A and B are shown apart, each in its own frame.
Chain A
Amino acid sequence: MTDTGNETALTPRRSGLTRRQKRALSRGAQYLIFVAAVVALAVGADWGRLQNQFAQVDLAKQLFPDIITLALKNTVLYTLSGFVVGLVLGMVIALMRLSSVGPYRWVSGIYIEIFRGLPALLIFIFVGVAVPLAFPGTEIPGGTYGKVAIALGLVSAAYMAETIRAGIQAVPKGQMEAARSLGFSHARAMISVVIPQAFRIVIPPLTNELVLLFKDSSLVLFLGVTLEERELAKFGRDLASQTANSTPILVAGLCYLLVTVPLGFIVRRLEAKAGEATK
């Protein structure tokens, strides 16, 4: 039984096609599908209406400079303030996660599970609605900016905490030992030796988190903001309904890409560099 099995496996099977022919056939089929899809899109879609609705140059021109000086500026502000809150909180949670004190580990673990498991939108609603209800009379400092910073910070802290924890654990144990043997206390060794090295490791994933936050800042839409506080998504949507045309949405989208594409490029560069350094 096994003998015959071995024999058939050893004799080359004749399907009539060489390996090169098979490869050419598979490649040809893939190109065919691609071309068919492009043609279907070009012929099937009503480009005139689409252009009318999404790409009116006059309308696009009217969006400037407000879409940059107001909307993009606010998006950047929301993102950066959320990132700073998230980074500080994430650092604290990461250190709690690595603490030798049990309750610190549990609390940080629960925090991470909750905030990674909830949609960011719910956190925004929670911060915008539930917190003012729960603590009447207390205002989150900074108005909308403060709320956004806290909502984005709460979400991103959970992700950043896990990233930073992994970064700290990736620093070789010998670094802590060398520092301790020189007389550093545990805390000083962490601050002067381990954390600076951990941050080098986590810069690419943290930059990636910045890109995610940049997009998540569009959730401000659900907080109810004044005209001056509008960011890209809200700005685009407002003008779209004012003008009964979707061109502002397209332009707002391009503004997002203006930032996210270069950032993504930087992340890949940093990752490649980090990969080289660890060789």
Chain B
Amino acid sequence: MSAPKSSATPGAAEIDVRGLHKSFGDNEVLRGIDLEIRQGEVVCVIGPSGSGKSTLLRCVNLLEEPTKGQVFVGGTELTDPDVDIDAVRRRIGMVFQQFNLFPHLTVTENLTLPQRRVLGRNKATAARVAAENLERVGLAEKAEAYPSSLSGGQQQRVAIARALAMGPEVMLFDEPTSALDPELVGDVLAVMRRLAHEGMTMMVVTHEMTFAREVADRVVFMDGGVIVEDGTPDQVITDPRHTRTRHFLSRLLDPAMAEVEEETSDLVQGAPKPPVTKQERPPTPPGRGV
């Protein structure tokens, strides 16, 4: 399916990550990441927990400060110490695993407060934009509710609407459905799917392989702080080239089978390991797709 991409300079790099390293103390979580996401592209980042995918996403709007390397969004270098980070963040929407709605405000106020305080919009404009975006995620009737009275799925859709109300050029999603009950995941993914079709540039850290396969233009597989594989969903999910990608996918799709595979791989490598290895130290990364 071909999505109508946004008209302005199609194919220009919207997110550009160059030589990114990030350490927490002695723990090097990102070990040299290069990633380019073009305007209107939807990129899903997959990988085992502890692979650094969330840290990478958080570096893209500088919630984590990179130890080394550069991050550009829409041509502005975020890692430049002289840049007004608040101004750049206005152009980047972020959706968190835990929703992070403001619990002391109603749904509408959650959407209007940032518009008014950050963008300086007047009350009427902010309210109108809020209503439009609540409509967009199908929650217009919850405008006056407090977040605590909403289901997880509804809260996450409000969080998406809140980010959209700021008119971002890019949307970052950090495992947006991981904290949801399985039956609530669908509504959130539907909103994200529609957003993708509208041409939004999206970087999505996720475990939802079906979503990645159907919606993503590109899938990036990360492990041990590096990008192991980067390509179309067909390449990376259906026909992965690297053993580690295959391992991860089989473990994700069929935990029982993964164990068998893991054991055999242990025999091959001759190194005894606990069955659930969260983070294995990777060898130097192979060449990247792009």
* Residues of chain A having any CB pair with chain B under 8 Å: 172, 174-175, 177-185, 188, 192-193, 196-197, 200, 277
Contact = CB atoms under 8 A, between A and B. Distances in A.
A196 B103 CA distance: 10
B117 A180 contact: no
Contacts of A175: 100, 102
A182 B98 CA distance: 16
A165 to B, nearest CB: 19
Interface string B5-43: 000000000000000000000000000000000000000
B52 to A, nearest CB: 18
Contact of B98 (A174, A179, A184, A188): A174
**Chain A binding surface SS class:** helix
A178 B89 contact: no
Given A182-B114, A184-B118, A188-B117, A197 B86 contact: no
Contacts of B118: 182-184, 188
B248 interface: no
B104 interface: yes
Contacts of A185: 86
Given A175-B100, A175-B102, A181 B117 contact: no
Contacts of A196: 104
A197 B103 contact: yes
Nearest to B90: A183
Contacts of B92: 181
B56 to A, nearest CB: 15
A178 B92 CA distance: 12
Contacts of B101: 178
Contact of A181 (B87, B89, B103, B119): B89
- Which of B86, B119, B162, B163 gathers most chain A CB within 10 Å? B86
B89 A177 contact: no
Nearest to A174: B100
A239 to B, nearest CB: 48
A188 B61 CA distance: 18
A183 B104 contact: no
B63 A182 contact: no
- Which of B86, B100, B159, B166 gathers most chain A CB within 10 Å? B100
A188 B118 CA distance: 9
A178 B104 contact: no
A183 B88 CA distance: 8
B117 A197 contact: no
B61 A197 contact: no
Nearest to A186: B86
Given A177-B63, A182-B114, A183-B89, A193 B96 contact: no
B150 to A, nearest CB: 15
10 contacts: A175-B100, A178-B96, A178-B159, A181-B61, A182-B94, A183-B90, A183-B114, A183-B119, A188-B118, A196-B104
B112 to A, nearest CB: 12
B188 interface: no
B45 interface: no
B63 A180 contact: yes
